[in-house]
A and B are shown apart, each in its own frame.
Chain A
Amino acid sequence: GDSVTQMEGPVTLSEEAFLTINCTYTATGYPSLFWYVQYPGEGLQLLLKATKADDKGSNKGFEATYRKETTSFHLEKGSVQVSDSAVYFCAGGKLIFGQGTELSVKP
């Protein structure tokens, strides 16, 4: 069946560091892929999405490219801020969510 596997956390970075959170998927066909963000005590918010292979989703400085050849959708940001501290979920296929990666950014 479909599955999404993402990098385990927690991840701790200093402000302005480069961020990569890995996500790979297994699915029939090429489903839309998503990254969601969850701030403490809140629901999930859609961060970005890609609907087909080679699409790049981007929002608030975050980017992810749908790579069919490696079945990956890694999340990247060039310079993280303290306000980016949250849990990030990769999702796709039929209601499949990764386990979440907690990011903590220190000043």
Chain B
Amino acid sequence: DGGITQSPKYLFRKEGQNVTLSCEQNLNHDAMYWYRQDPGQGLRLIYYSQIVNDFQKGDIAEGYSVSREKKESFPLTVTSAQKNPTAFYLCASSSSPLRNEQFFGPGTRLTVL
């Protein structure tokens, strides 16, 4: 089955530690995205990538980093510089950048203790 996988579903880390969230897709999509969702709020764009080896900052990129070395993979690192990292993180992909319908993964809930 084609789709997007995110792992793990739940992640706990101590304050000050970097943590990397995994996102893999087998839909052969060129574009991939990371969003952050806080309780009762909408989605905020962290980073997006339109093609391999290229990515752009979204609205709230500070304290996060990404890489796009393979078409299928777009990992997100939450660094210790992120002031309030506890949130629900969603990865998505689309066949063409920025305007097409997006397919979302199941999300990773990160809790920093």
Contacts and interface: CB of A to CB of B under 8 A. Distances in A.
A49 B99 CA distance: 12
Given A41-B107, A43-B105, A89 B43 contact: yes
Interface residues of B, number: 23
Interface of B: 4, 6, 33, 40-43, 45, 48, 58, 90, 92, 98-107, 109
A9 B6 CA distance: 28
A98 B42 contact: yes
Nearest to B107: A43
4 residue pairs, one from A and one from B, having the closest CB atoms: A43-B104, A99-B42, A44-B104, A97-B43
Contacts of B98: 94-95
Contacts of A95: 33, 45, 48, 58, 98
B106 A43 contact: yes
Contacts of A32: 99-101
Residue from the set B42, B102, B103 with the largest chain A CB neighbour count within 10 Å: B42
B42 A42 contact: no
A60 B102 CA distance: 19
B101 A49 contact: yes
Contacts of B40: 102
A93 B6 CA distance: 26
Of the listed residues A43, A44, A49, A98, the one surrounded by the most CB atoms of chain B closer than 10 A to its CB is A43
B101 A89 contact: no
A100 B101 contact: no
A46 interface: yes
A36 B43 CA distance: 12
